[in-house]
């Protein structure tokens, strides 16, 4: 059997706070408590649970944004050694996009920073990824404020895909959208999974949505995985 794409092994995380302001006693609040899970290549894996159960904190650990104990491996490489190996799609697409830059600039910049291809090749890649998300090349000349919420989320998905990461993490990606736009984004994830073999960690409190989209599902409660489906 092939090795899992993502391995989360006994991961814990705590949040530090002071009850009475800066002069109060520092307290450590456990957020994640020995979480373990695996995602296979080409799998859409769902993570669900009520707000505050630790879903987003786990996503941030996998993305390398926050510290943790335990082990997280993507393609056998520790996230602590090479963070940001996964792409991310967040709940608020508008907040994730620089409002003053054109869409073409936003999508090309990661390629430029990583010295990927010539200018012509980068533009061709931007057009290709836009097409995958159901957007034509004219969107390169638009700015985020000219797009609907659904179109912004499509662009956010494009941003996540540009460097071809092995894993995409989508954290409540449709909760801020209307029902029609949300359904289109869900169908887009399924299409990308089928055409690209996209591996996706899909996080949502909506259990029905997770059951519809995902191949397997884990339920989180109070910082622990309590159920696997």
Closest to 92 measured CA to CA, from 160, 22, 176, 7:
176
φ, ψ (nearest 5 deg) of residue 31: -110, -50
Map tokens 């993570």 to a residue: 47
d(CA 109, CA 6): 27
- Which 3 state secondary structure label does DSSP give 217? strand
pLDDT at 98 > cutoff 60: yes
d(CA 127, CA 131): 6
pLDDT of residue 21: 61
Q: Are 156 and 129 in contact (CB under 8 A)?
A: no
Q: Please, which pLDDT band fits residue 1 given cuts at 50, 70 and 90?
A: low
The residue-averaged pLDDT of 97-110 equals 96
Q: In what helix (H) or strand (E) does residue 34 lie, and over which residues does it extend?
A: strand 26-39
d(CA 203, CA 125): 28
pLDDT of residue 181: 96
> What's the pTM?
0.93
To the nearest 10°, report the CA torsion of 104, 107, 108, 109: 120
Q: Are 15 and 74 in contact (CB under 8 A)?
A: no
Closest to 73 measured CA to CA, from 30, 45, 36, 110:
36
- The overall average pLDDT reported for the chain is 94
pLDDT at 171 > cutoff 60: yes
pLDDT of residue 94: 84
The residue-averaged pLDDT of 97-119 equals 96
d(CA 215, CA 14): 30
d(CA 86, CA 79): 9
Higher pLDDT, 170 or 26: 170
**DSSP structural state of residue 116:** -
């Amino acid at each position: 059997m092939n090795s899992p794409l993502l391995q989360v092994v006994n991961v814990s995380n705590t949040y530090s706070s002071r009850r009475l302001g800066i002069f109060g006693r520092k307290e450590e609040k456990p957020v994640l408590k020995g979480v373990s899970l695996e995602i296979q290549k080409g799998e859409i894996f769902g993570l669900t649970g009520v707000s505050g159960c630790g879903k987003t904190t786990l996503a941030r650990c996998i993305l390398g944004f926050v510290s943790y104990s335990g082990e997280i491996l993507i393609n056998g490489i520790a996230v602590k050694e090479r963070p940001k190996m996964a792409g991310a799609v967040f709940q608020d697409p508008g907040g994730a996009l620089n409002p003053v830059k054109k869409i073409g600039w936003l999508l090309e910049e990661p390629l430029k920073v990583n010295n990927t291809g010539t200018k012509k090749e980068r533009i061709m890649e931007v057009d290709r990824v836009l097409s995958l998300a159901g957007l034509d090349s004219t969107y390169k000349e638009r700015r985020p404020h000219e797009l609907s919420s659904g179109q912004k989320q499509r662009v956010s998905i494009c941003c996540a895909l540009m460097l071809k990461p092995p894993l995409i993490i989508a954290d409540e990606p449709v909760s801020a959208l209307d029902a029609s736009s949300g359904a289109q984004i869900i169908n887009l994830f399924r299409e990308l999974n089928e055409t690209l073999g996209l591996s996706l960690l899909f996080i949502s409190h909506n259990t029905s949505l997770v059951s519809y989209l995902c191949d397997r599902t884990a339920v989180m409660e109070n910082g622990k995985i309590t159920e696997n489906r």
